[in-house]
Structures are given as structure tokens and as C-alpha cells.
Structure 1
Amino acid sequence: MATLAAVLATTHHPFYLKLTHLDPPEQRIPQAAEWVRKVEAYRETLTAAKPDILVMIGADHFHQFFLDNYPQFAIGKAPKYDATYYNEMREFSLPRYVLDGHEELSQFILEGLIDRGFDMAVSNELKLDHSIICPIITTRPGADLPVVPIYTNIFVPPFPTPQRFWDLGRAIREIIDEFPSDQRIAAIGSGHLSLELGGPRQFQEHGPDPEFDKRAIGWLADGDIDGLMANVTRENLGTFGNATHGFLDLVTMFGIAGPIKAAYVDDLDLFHTREAYVTWYPNGAGK
């Protein structure tokens, strides 16, 4: 059977590359050097796991899906994935990518999720945006491993509940454990802590809700699923910032890892948001 070598939950900041590498040094943000150090240290948690395949959890930012046609859960099943949209290249200076897919594992996960009661959408021509590309840039910049992309709905009400995202993670974990292969699989998911986009709290110095950020990192770090579920609901997530529903993708990663303490935790306070980097090694597989 396959080995789940590592589970990574990370925020995805589309300006990371632009603000730390591409601009002239005098235009980089004051935290640039610290940001790079933290990202490179985090990258080592994936490298140490020696993965062969990446299962990647993200969300489409209204590039391929929109308000009238947004699936709750979707999986890509393609030999290759074109990545990065024009507006992301224009605004964030993100490079274009073509990522290899792993159709066999995609099909296995698709069937396994349907068998476990998830009504999955599937795409044979899914194009990937920065929810997948940002963690590629930060954790596997060589983009040399095949990926299985899974998209969740964190943008269009009605949202699935936090429990449903947790259950999705637990189901993905079971399916990876059952995959008939000797390969090592890492799961990487990206989302947000508290985040405000276009609202009155967008440019607050320490993000829209620093207290929520602190507690959220603590739940993930401590393996405290009970504390998380007692304090995070579909209804209250928007009170921490109008885009805080992105935290639900980190809940999915927590579900894949299981209610265990994280092996690696770090964060960085940026000008309008807090970045978080969490890695679990289920059963010690990546140590």
C-alpha cells in the first residue's frame, strides 16, 4: 500500500514571489528576507518526506467556476495540467506551469470519495490557479512531481460545514492508505487564516482578526479538533474576515493528518495577513 509521507497545510500568498524575488531589492517588503527563510525552512519538511506524488487541495478563485456553477468538491483527472491564469501573471508575476497529473490515483480517489458519500465533480481539463501554484512555488519549486488536484468550495454560499471538510480529509486519508502502490504520497493544501478582501478590514496592520489566527494555528498545532469544531462554524467564519472561509481547506488537511500534533509549525505576521506553515508526519512516516 502507499505511504502517506507528509501532510502540509499552508496559506497561499500570491505576492510571495513578486515581493521577495522579482522586484528590485529596494522595492521588496521589509519582511522579505525573513519570509524567504521561513518558506525555505518549511520546504524542507516536504523534501524530507521524499514524496513521489502530491495530492493538492485548493480552490478555484472564479477562474474556471463561477456563482452559477461552482461544485462543492471537484477532482482533476488529466495527464497534464495547464496552470496560471493571465490575471495572475499580470497582477502577481506568477510564472506559467504545466504540471504532470497522476490519472490512476485521481481515479482511485474519485471512486473512493463517491463510495464514501461525496458527490464529486470531475474534470479532465482542469486548469489550475494560484491556490495550487503558490504552494508549488514555496514547497516544490521544481514542479517535478505528478499532482492530483482537488478543489473545494470556499467562496460560494452555501458552504459545506467544517465537519464536512474534516470528513473529506479523513476520507482522503483512508483512500491514500488503501492505494495499491509502494509510492510515497504527500498531501499539500492551501487556504487562509483570517482574511478580508475588498472590505473595511482589508489593510489592517495585523490582519482582520489576529486572535482568531492565533487560536487557529494552535488548534492545528495541538491536534485539537474538538476545540476547532467548538469555535468554527459555517456561520461565524465570515465574522473573522470576509474571506476566512479559506481556513476550511486547512481543516481538510488537518483531517488528512488526523487529530495528531503537528511536527512543524511556523507563522509570519505580514502587513495585512498572517501566514502559517504546518506539517504533520502521520505515523512518523516522514521523519
Structure 2
Amino acid sequence: MPLVFAGVCSHAPGITGRSDQADPDVRDRFYAAFDQMRVDLEASKPDAIVVIAAEHFANFFMNNMPSFALGMADSYDGPIEDPGWLGIDKHQVPGNRDLSHRFIEQVMHTSDVSYAEEWKFDHGIMVPLHFLTPRYDTPVIPVNINCQGPPLSPLHRSWTFGESLRAACDALPERIAIVGTGGISHWPATPDSGKINVEWDLDFMDRWCRNDRAALLDYDDLTVYADAGQGGFEIRTFISVAAAAAGATGTVHFCEPIPIFAVSCTIASYNISASGI
């Protein structure tokens, strides 16, 4: 079954944990964009959602840091963070071990990946699910791309990984949606925490919407680190979604800085049906 939905969104913990401190007008428009993304996702009637995130040392550490990993379990617990801090209650999120197993087998034909039968979800997955699956009733296949601990995989490998995800979607009978989550520019846990490079974010999203492979891969980590912070390494999740939706063009539904959330809060999706893919 071809891919039925492809989109990206921010996952900063402040989006839920500090919602009361944000400018109400901007916050509410951002939440409205999240709600519309939920409506569009639900309309695609997915049997499972592949959520590509940058896991923040909640499960994988420098003693065991896969470049690409997928979950293979019937359920996952989250958030790993304190619910009072994150603003999201503890949940058991459904998975689908059989579907995940078959999906991973297909991905392995063209990308080398790890898998995990146990996975604690942190804000990178739980914040998007809070908005996109508020009833927590859609099976999730979690995906981690190492965006935290160098050496990081080259960007072209994230593109290839996205193509592998797409090939897996095409090979299976189930309807699969893909959601990538990340910053974009941000400097978490540094003296520059709260800094946002809006111009850089908008330029990146322009490249993403055009699904311009050459432009998306025309970054190096040293420049990204200087211009977008170490949080900017999370463009890998967005790039994988672009590769999975190759042939489609995208629309940015919201991309504005919300300083208390410490990112340019972003919602965007690819027009899968119009592209015929």
C-alpha cells in the first residue's frame, strides 16, 4: 500500500510544558495548525504511524548509539519525563509487533538499521502524539535517527533511509503514515538556550517544501552547528520524510518563533494525493 500521509512537526517540550507562558494568539494559531494536521492525518486512515524522532538519550547512549533504529513492540510507555514538567500524562501507546517486524524486514533490504523491543518514549514522540493522536488509539512504529552524539551519519544516509521507509510502505498491505519531528534551529541545554534562527528555519523549510534533494543535502554539520545549534542536527528527521515523499511538494502550515518554546514552531506536510505517489 503506498504511503498515505507524510508530514513534519516540532516536538519541543515547552510546547506542552510551558503553554501557559506563550503569547496566546501565536500559541493558539500553532495549536490550530496541529489540530488541522491531526484532521488530515486521520482522514488518511492509517493503520500505523511511523514517527521519526531524535531520541534524547532516553534509551540510547554513547555506549550503544545506533544511527537508525526502529521499535518492534506491541506497546510503548511514555513520557519518560515527569508529566508535571512536560504537561502530558503517562500513557501506554499502542504498537503492532507483527507489522513492525514486517516493516523492519523491508527496510533492511536497502538500509542497515537496529531495532528495539523495548522503548520509552520521550518528548520527541510524546509531544506530537499528544496533538495528533490524543486518544492514543493508533499503532505507532517509533524511529530514532541519531542526532545527538557525533559521529552523525551523513545527510545523504538520512535520505537513503527515508527511501527505505518508503519502499517498506509500498511493500506492505497496511496504510502507513510518516511523521518526522524535530526543532528546527535550537540550542537546548546551552547558554544560548532559547535562541532561534528564524531565517535559517524558513530557508530550510523552503527547500523541504520543494523536495529539493540537492538543496536539502547541501549542509555540513559544522555550518549547521554554527547557524542552527546542535538542535539543528534534527534536520535528519525532516530529510528522511522528504525522501519518503519524493515526487511530492509540501506546504508549511505554520512556522513562527515562539520564544518560550525555544523553536520556530513548525507544521508542514506533503501533498501526497496530488503527486500520485
Q: CA RMSD in A?
A: 2.1
Q: Which of residues 216, 236, 239 is equivalent to 2:204? A: 216
Evaluate the alpha carbon distance shift between residue 251 and residue 32 of structure 1 in structure 2; reply closer, same or farther with a 3 A threshold.
same
Is 2:78 aligned against 1:83?
Answer: yes
Q: Secondary structure at the match of 2:250?
A: coil
Provide the TM-score with structure 1 as the length reference: 0.88
How many residue pairs get aligned? The number is 273
**For structure 2, which runs of at least 5 residues remain unmatched after alignment?**
none
Given that 2:198 and 2:256 are in contact with CA atoms closer than 8 Å, whether structure 1 keeps it comes out as no
| Percent identity of equivalent pairs | 23
Distance 1:51 1:286 in 2: 17
Residue equivalent to 1:103: 97
Q: Which of residues 50, 60, 67 is equivalent to 1:65? A: 60
**For structure 1, which runs of at least 5 residues remain unmatched after alignment?**
none
Distance 2:156 2:182 in 1: 16
Q: Secondary structure at the match of 2:9?
A: strand
Give per-residue Cα distances to partners, 1:108-149, cap 9 Å, x unaligned: 22222222141x221111222111111111222111111111
Is 2:177 aligned against 1:178?
Answer: no
Structure 2 residue identity aligned to 1:237: V
Q: What's the offset of the Cα at 1:285?
A: 8.1
Given that 2:88 and 2:130 are in contact with CA atoms closer than 8 Å, whether structure 1 keeps it comes out as no
Q: Secondary structure at the match of 1:249?
A: helix
Distance 2:191 2:264 in 1: 17
Distance 1:35 1:117 in 2: 35
Q: Which of residues 76, 98, 110 is equivalent to 1:116? A: 110
Residue equivalent to 2:146: 153
Q: Secondary structure at the match of 2:221?
A: coil
Q: Which of residues 22, 28, 35 is equivalent to 1:33? A: 28
Give per-residue Cα distances to partners, 1:205-255, cap 9 Å, x unaligned: xx1x2221111110111222222222x123322112122101111111111
Distance 1:195 1:203 in 2: 7
Distance 1:147 1:286 in 2: 25
Is 2:182 aligned against 1:191?
Answer: yes
Given that 1:5 and 1:281 are in contact with CA atoms closer than 8 Å, whether structure 2 keeps it comes out as no
Structure 2 residue identity aligned to 1:76: G
Given that 1:48 and 1:286 are in contact with CA atoms closer than 8 Å, whether structure 2 keeps it comes out as no
Q: Secondary structure at the match of 1:156?
A: coil
Provide the TM-score with structure 2 as the length reference: 0.90
Q: Secondary structure at the match of 1:194?
A: coil
Evaluate the alpha carbon distance shift between residue 94 and residue 10 of structure 1 in structure 2; reply closer, same or farther with a 3 A threshold.
same
Q: Secondary structure at the match of 1:148?
A: strand
Give per-residue Cα distances to partners, 1:33-73, cap 9 Å, x unaligned: 22322222232221222222111111221111112221111
Distance 1:8 1:189 in 2: 6
Equivalences for residues 222-261 of structure 1 within 5 A: 222-230=210-218, 232-240=219-227, 241-261=229-249
Distance 1:34 1:113 in 2: 37
Q: Which of residues 42, 46, 55 is equivalent to 2:41? A: 46
Given that 1:45 and 1:279 are in contact with CA atoms closer than 8 Å, whether structure 2 keeps it comes out as no
